[in-house]
A and B are shown apart, each in its own frame.
Chain A
Amino acid sequence: MSEIQATPQVTSAESGPDWQRVYRLMLTIRLFEERANDLYQRKIMPGLAHLSSGEEGVAVGVCTALRDDDYITSTHRGHGHCLAKGASADRMFAELLGKAAGYCGGKGGSMHIADQERGNLGANAIVGGSLGIATGAALSIKQRGSDQVAVSFIGDGALGQGVLYEVMNMASLWKLPIIYVCENNLYGEYTASSETIAGRPIERATAFGIPATEVDGQDVRAVYAATAEAVARARSGGGPAFLWCSTYRYFGHHVGDVDRGYYRSREEEQFWREQRDPISLARVWLEADGLVDAASLEELAEEVTHELDAAVEFAVAAPFPNPDQVATDVFA
């Protein structure tokens, strides 16, 4: 039945996934976003950029519990989801810069990266816009008799969209293999979620008979454990799940949002950065559990830095699309 579940016990380090890889992915996202920010500030990256720095634990914890052939849908703040699902940074940067080598040939940009090979059905610039897509993918999984699952990443702001309640109802009725992962970063644009969300968010899922879990999104182990449990249930026909992950975005709503004083305090930002950083927290227990030593983490950081610098270099040097591309891909 539709109970609100306790946060699952954190899996012991030994039985879990390759935690060093988990750490590496989180770091990759952090350094990717720093470079995206830099490219934007230097006016090399056009358009809008919504950075996910601070939210790496959710993207990586969830995607680590998925297979390559599982589906995800993502949001306007989607770089982390995309990398965590296995996309390569060079083609992502190329997309951010509108280059032909980008995942969408430059047609999508930051808010629309899709990576079909890794089951990423695309980021979406409409809040809640991919809820139907993800749930439809879950319907397709069921019809095809596959044991894949679908994950729909959404922000807390998407709780305002009525489509969420329509698809959760159907997902529950038809026992679809879909996991709704809500990243509660406390704000939708410049408004606190406390001003836009009535009641207890996870009860919106349990009202439809969907098991819901409150998860510490800054603890990648907890996110992984909660997702793994939901995935196992969904794969075996147990139907949907809802994860409400508390997290925080370090930057503004988008890179241009620098004067944030009117909606959130510096102290709050500092608290999350200093006390609740998912990467620093992971590092502490990784070292304490003897899974890694400081030296190997330094080495890893250097490796990732080199990789991402090379990816940026690739993207900057890559050519823009040929003008005739403007009229292709309109119809399949």
Chain B
Amino acid sequence: MSSPDPTPEGESRELTMAQAIREAIAEEMRRDSSVFVMGEDVAEAGTPFKVLSGLVEEFGPERVIDTPISEPGFTGMGVGAAMTGRRPVVDIMFGDFLGLVMDQVANQAAKVHYMSGGKLSVPLTIRTTMGASRRSAAQHSQSLHAWVSHIPGLKVVLPSTPYDAKGLMKTAIRDNSPVVFFEDKMNYQQRGQVPVAEYTIPLGVADIKRPGKDVTVIATSSMVLVAMEAAEVLAQEGIECEVVDPRTTVPLDREALINSVGRTTRAVVVDEGHRSYGVGAELAAVVSEGAFYFLDAPVRRLGAMDVPIPFSPVLEDLTVPTVQGLVDTVRELCGRK
């Protein structure tokens, strides 16, 4: 079973995902003077999505550093600063720009601890975005979490709610390994209850977002919302979906996924990365291997089409998994078609 979150008792209030992330970073900056933020337009502008508004006012420009448009350079500096006593939170404005920084991330940050025989470590957090549907075209719409999930040495976080985002961000910053934290642009204004009291959420613990007995829907990031909506529709037809959110792809809570499928005997994976060779494929493989004897049907996978994300709304909307697409898939899986 999963989700033994140490949900603190007491008061909570509604925050957007953006506010929850900002609060997490601000709390960690207050708690630990070695935490600092670095990236393009992170200070006065508070990032284009206004996620970091107000931080520079509280912590000053020494700890909320506006950089030139030099992603490989400042990401590398994040690695070096992390190796020498700081806890940088590096901001890569769009996940697509991972293309520019992959050497620093995959060949440097991910390798340092292992190559040094455990002597050096890189307590670095990289915040970046993912997600299509904003009519931003092929270079601003990709979901590239599979790239980093593939590289041993990197931890990868994909929050789907304000509550999760805050607790996971705090843990990411405290982690002694490099963590890549993906925020879906479509989720920034999503609201949810967040406790007033401090809490953290461990990496590697999945969360059951909705219990159900008929089929397990494993969903990541904004696809959790798609799954929740689909589950609502399917419930009206008497199909009870269990929506499981792994929350982190590395470390992955395999047990939670396998246990859920063991109970429901059917599984669909929904992830916004491209369908081929992606996170969806890994999640499907984990349950296929781990729950083989329980499965009543092959595991299904929904992901972004294997095409660059097109600009035109009529085309873009075809490329990402939808509520309807998921509903149809689940119906088929349950023999209701």
Contacts and interface: CB of A to CB of B under 8 A. Distances in A.
B311 A158 contact: no
A109 B312 contact: yes
B33 interface: no
Interface in B183-216: none
B306 A190 contact: no
Interface string A94-123: 000011000010111111100000000000
Contact of B41 (A48, A189, A197): A189
Contacts of B242: none
Interface string A296-332: 0000000000000000000000001101011100100
Nearest to A97: B312
B305 A326 contact: yes
Given A189-B45, A262-B44, A112 B315 contact: no
Interface string B285-306: 0000000000000000000011
B313 interface: yes
A112 B41 contact: no
Interface string B304-334: 0111101111110011000000000000000
Contacts of A326: 305, 307, 310, 315, 318-319
B69 A98 contact: no
A109 to B, nearest CB: 3
A196 B67 contact: yes
A131 to B, nearest CB: 12
A244 B100 CA distance: 25
B311 A126 contact: no
Contacts of A188: 40, 68-69
A158 B137 contact: no
B318 A108 contact: no
Size band of the B side of the interface? 35 or more
B28 interface: no
Nearest to A330: B307
A108 B137 contact: yes
Contacts of B311: 46-47, 98, 104, 106-110, 112
B314 A98 contact: yes
A268 interface: no
B312 A128 contact: no
Interface stretch (A80-88, A140-148, A159-167): A159-167
Given A191-B41, A326-B305, A126 B96 contact: yes
Given A106-B315, A323-B318, A161 B139 contact: no
- Which of the listed residues B40, B44, B68 has the most CB atoms from chain A within 10 Å of its own CB? B68
Chain A contact residues: helix, strand, loop or mixed: loop
Interface string B160-172: 0000000000000
Given A160-B69, A327-B305, A189 B313 contact: no
A274 interface: no
Contacts of B318: 323, 326
Interface string B46-70: 0010000000000000000011111
A125 B45 contact: no
B135 A109 contact: yes
A127 interface: yes
Chain B contact residues: helix, strand, loop or mixed: loop
Contacts of A48: 135-136, 140
A263 B99 CA distance: 29
A99 B312 contact: yes
B72 interface: yes
A95 to B, nearest CB: 8
B134 interface: yes
B309 to A, nearest CB: 9
B97 interface: yes
Interface string B69-107: 110110000000000000000000000110110000000
A108 B135 CA distance: 10
B69 A195 contact: no
Contacts of A189: 40-41, 45, 48
B325 to A, nearest CB: 14
Contact of A330 (B67, B100, B308): B308
B135 A330 contact: no
A157 interface: yes
A8 interface: no
Given A112-B137, A320-B312, A321-B312, A162 B307 contact: no
B69 A157 contact: yes
A129 interface: yes
Contacts of B135: 46-48, 98, 109
A47 B44 contact: no
B69 A127 contact: yes
Interface in A180-196: 188-191, 195-196
A254 B310 CA distance: 20
A190 B68 contact: no
A301 B67 CA distance: 42
Contacts of A107: 137-138, 308, 310-312, 315
A112 B136 CA distance: 10
B69 A125 contact: no
B312 A197 contact: no
Interface in A1-58: 46-48
Contacts of A321: 312, 314-315
A98 B100 CA distance: 28
A112 B314 contact: no
A320 B314 contact: yes
17 contacts: A46-B311, A47-B135, A98-B312, A107-B308, A109-B311, A111-B140, A112-B311, A126-B97, A158-B69, A162-B70, A191-B40, A191-B66, A320-B314, A321-B314, A323-B315, A326-B315, A326-B318
Interface of B: 40-41, 44-45, 48, 66-70, 72-73, 96-97, 99-100, 134-140, 305-308, 310-315, 318-319
Leading 7 A-B pairs by shortest Cβ distance: A109-B311, A98-B312, A160-B68, A106-B312, A47-B135, A46-B135, A190-B45
Given A189-B45, A190-B45, A191-B40, 8 more contacts: A98-B135, A99-B312, A106-B312, A109-B135, A188-B40, A188-B68, A326-B319, A327-B305
